Structure 1
Amino acid sequence: MAIALTTLVAEAQRYLNADSISDYCPNGLQVEGRPNVQRLVTGVTASQALIDAAIEAEADVILVHHGYFWKGEDPCVTGMKQRRLKALLANDISVLAYHLPLDVHPDVGNNVQLAAQLGITVEGPLNPDNPRTVGLVGSLDEPQSARDFARRVHQVLGREPLLVEGQQMIRRIGWCTGGGQGYIDEAVAAGVDLYLTGEASEQTFHSAQENGISFIAAGHHATERYGVQALGEYLAKRFAIEHIFIDCANPI
């Protein structure tokens, strides 16, 4: 069964409340392809590898978390950008991208989906006083050591995380998928035992160590694989179309 591309886009916009969220890139339809959709491919980033795999899969639409046209980037269609867009346009494939709307959504968002994967009970926002803070706080059913929790992260995500180990047992956790290491001070203020995100900066080590909490960097790509899959499944069920998630390996 095929649906109109405009119908798919309108539902994604509505479901994610995308028009109300200020972001660093345009959310929604970034590249327009054929007018009807039967097969939807999802992935984390609209890289050349994902485009090539989507072409092979005969996709009509690629839905991603990391799309194109970021604020501050060179607007010229040259080099890598030209090759990507040329492949999409030549094969009449659309790109639909959602960044912050997919991070914060209460059902299919990256943060709630990662919590479900790791067995964390969501309690609320990391910083209720700052709505621009993209992150959550929650708890484990039973306290465990930082090393034990890091082993679970490794098992679930299939990637050995970077661990800065504190002394206390882990019960209360703050987290933000992707490049959320800058929120570690807000996590400390929230009283967490461990803060988890995708990436680490040099100063992250010192913030964790000197504030007496544990820290895990589990990979930007690895922590953001689940929201786009959940959104893809939602749209596939809503419109009875085919959905394929393609995970292009990324060690970062």
Structure 2
Amino acid sequence: MTRPAFVTTDDLAADLRPLGVPAGGVLMVHSSLASLGRVLGGAPAVVRALLAALGPAGTLVMPAFSPEVSDPARWADWTGEALERARAALPAFDPDTTPTTMGAIPETFRRWPGARRSAHPQVSVCALGPRAVEIVAPHALAWGQGEGSPFARLAAMDAALLLLGVGFNRATLLHYAESRVPHGRRKTRRIPFGEGARREWVEVPCIGDDLDTHFPPLGATYVAAGRARTGMVGAADAVLASSADLVAFATAFLGSALAVD
């Protein structure tokens, strides 16, 4: 099959509908713009296609993570005076201006008119639509991907999960599933608040970082079992799943896999 020279908003929306994107439903999207091929209009065209497939009664959700709102010692090789200067100068989280590192599509969606963003400095989500407010708030600092978080609420309302040109190692709902496993991996988040002399560091518990050991085989097993729908959106491989079903499957899978780690 000849790959088209480009894809449009209408092309993408036409690919999304037969995949099973639920008109009027809630859709959580993890994405890669480059995977789609040449999109006329870039990331805004993709957001428009997703909104068109959902319709006006639907609610679109994307991650808006900002992992650099954290101790620079965890993501840079600075030491001594340079590290202390970075710790003092690092901007605190601002839901209106702090960018996300999740890619061009989520960053575009973060700035979309009417989009709401949750308050977590490191693992926020953005949502637009009738259910946006109930999805984004509250978002406590501790266990930001666990019970009581937007991810738990997405699973409870059985939002659809769309992986658009990315793998299951990008599916944050799997972190929520791991939070339900008593022997799941854990870590401490270190978050800066305030500026200058008012700078304060807060430490809170959360789920571990490892994305690549168990999540890809979990996803492959899930798809092979026929529990997700697959297809092409533009030039990208796409997977659509029920969040409630995926979380139930992942909780059992990780419960077994992590028991022998």
TM-score band by shorter chain is under 0.3
Normalising to structure 1: TM-score of the pair?
0.25
Report which of the two has the higher share of strand. 1
Normalising to structure 2: TM-score of the pair?
0.24
